[in-house]
Structure 1
Amino acid sequence: MTRPRIALFDYGSGNLRSAHRALERAGADVDLTSDLDLARAADGLFVPGVGAYAACMEGVLKTGLDAVIRERVGDDRPVLGVCVGDQILFEEGVEHGVTTRGVGVLEGRVDLLEAPRIPHMGWNTVAADEGMRLFAGIDPAERFYFVHSYAAKAVPPGAKAAVAVHGEPFLAAVERGPVAATQFHPEKSGDAGYALLSNWIKGLK
């Protein structure tokens, strides 16, 4: 049986090695690449990201990844964003009073969490909407690994979402059509993250 092929896009940000291993373990063949044609042609596009929103968007724009993400979404072809790779899929991010425009395939804004302790670092449970493909067969008591200070908080129109709480509720994961995104790191979330990545890979066309 042919394994789906995933483009793990290197635009200068992300936990590429751990993501590569996790995706292969979950059942995919993986191309670590900065080639836009490979990103277009892959069965799934994985968008990583760590650090600052503005710095990640600079890398996305410099490589032209933003256009490929929009193209894939317009063609109903799967994209998965993780951590800041999740955040940049939204319309904008606000850090230190500076607003940066995102890729914009999900409506909404990424903003600082209102919490007594920042960053939100460690394991947390999530409450997922019924029918989310990412969480199929995953026990609601499972925990996922988070490292972030910013997050989207409002569910985009027509999307399903999983919510976590750290000081306030925020979007731990979103899926709508070909777009899936997680604020947590599935590649660092043990068996629960493996199950989630397996669910995404099983849904690739």
Structure 2
Amino acid sequence: MIAIIDYGAGNIKSLQSALSKLNMDSCLTTNEHVITNSKAIILPGVGAFKDAMDALNEFSLTEVLQKEASLGKPILGICLGMQLLYDKSFEDGEWEGLAILNGTVKRIDSTVKVPHMGWNTLAHQSPNNLLTNINEQEFVYFVHSYYVDECNEQELVCSCDYGVQIPAIVQKNNIFGMQFHPEKSGKNGLQLLKNFGEMVL
């Protein structure tokens, strides 16, 4: 079973619906016992970084997620959820993240329209089982104004170009991130979620 963290900062019904189409068992939860007994965790997220971290702290989930990550539990961060995995964000201030991955989050340069909203292509940066049946330059759906600026190149699976190189998929051992919304990305998004499930379940 996949635990989807239900902390009030994500469009989680569509994500759960996508997983159901793939026959991947999931539940929406903030319960520590459910999370620790799950096979994998998905951390979704939309909105502001600070608000999301405040909500995780309010539900006493920050240490739970950090502990599960350290124990090797697969964790997938989606959109803002991916950004929360990193050390800190400079969104309207400077805020500490979960620090499960090393890097910082900053605003997309104003030389392009912000937010980055709509379909963009994935450029493969390293071989990865997440990319099974995903061709080079396939389209996925993005909605974000901030991105991971300092990303370890060895953890970069896919990027997209939007004024700068934006990390689109990352992986470090049991930790995964997708800056886009796979649940809104049609067949490609479903394939990526399917690949994630086959890697971790």
> Normalising by structure 2, what TM-score?
0.95
Q: Distance in 2 between matches of 1:141 and 1:161?
A: 13
Compared CA separation, residues 145 and 157, structure 1 to 2 (3 A): closer
Instruction: Measure how far apart 1:37 and its partner are.
Output: 1.2
Q: Distance in 1 between matches of 2:166 and 2:72?
A: 26
Q: Distance in 2 between matches of 1:157 and 1:127?
A: 14
Aligned letter for 2:104? R
> Normalising by structure 1, what TM-score?
0.93
Q: Distance in 1 between matches of 2:154 and 2:138?
A: 25
Whether the 8 Å CA contact 2:182–2:188 is kept in 1: the answer is: yes
Select the residue among 42, 55, 66 that pairs with 1:46.
42
Residue correspondences, number: 200
Instruction: Measure how far apart 1:157 and its partner are.
Output: 6.4
Partner of 1:109: 104
Secondary structure of 1:67 counterpart: helix
Q: Report the RMSD for the aligned CA atoms in angstroms.
A: 1.2
Q: Distance in 2 between matches of 1:67 and 1:9?
A: 13
Give runs of aligned pairs for residues 25-174 of structure 1, distance below 5 A. Answer: 25-96=21-92, 98-114=93-109, 115-156=111-152, 158-174=154-170
Q: Which moved more, 1:166-175 or 1:82-91?
A: 166-175
Compared CA separation, residues 28 and 86, structure 1 to 2 (3 A): same
Instruction: Measure how far apart 1:134 and its partner are.
Output: 1.7
Secondary structure of 2:90 counterpart: strand
Q: Distance in 2 between matches of 1:109 and 1:197?
A: 25
Whether the 8 Å CA contact 1:81–1:180 is kept in 2: the answer is: yes
1:165-185: CA deviation from partner (whole Å, max 9, x where unpaired): 111111111011100011000
Q: Distance in 2 between matches of 1:174 and 1:116?
A: 23
Whether the 8 Å CA contact 1:155–1:161 is kept in 2: the answer is: no
Find runs of 4+ consecutive structure 1 residues off by over 2 angstroms: 153-158
1:17-41: CA deviation from partner (whole Å, max 9, x where unpaired): 1011011222311111111111111
Q: Share of identical aligned residues, percent?
A: 32
Is there any run of 5+ residues in structure 2 with no aligned partner, and where? none
Between structures 1 and 2, the one with greater strand share: 1
Aligned letter for 2:58? K
Aligned letter for 2:148? A
Q: Distance in 2 between matches of 1:103 and 1:27?
A: 30
Whether the 8 Å CA contact 2:56–2:62 is kept in 1: the answer is: yes
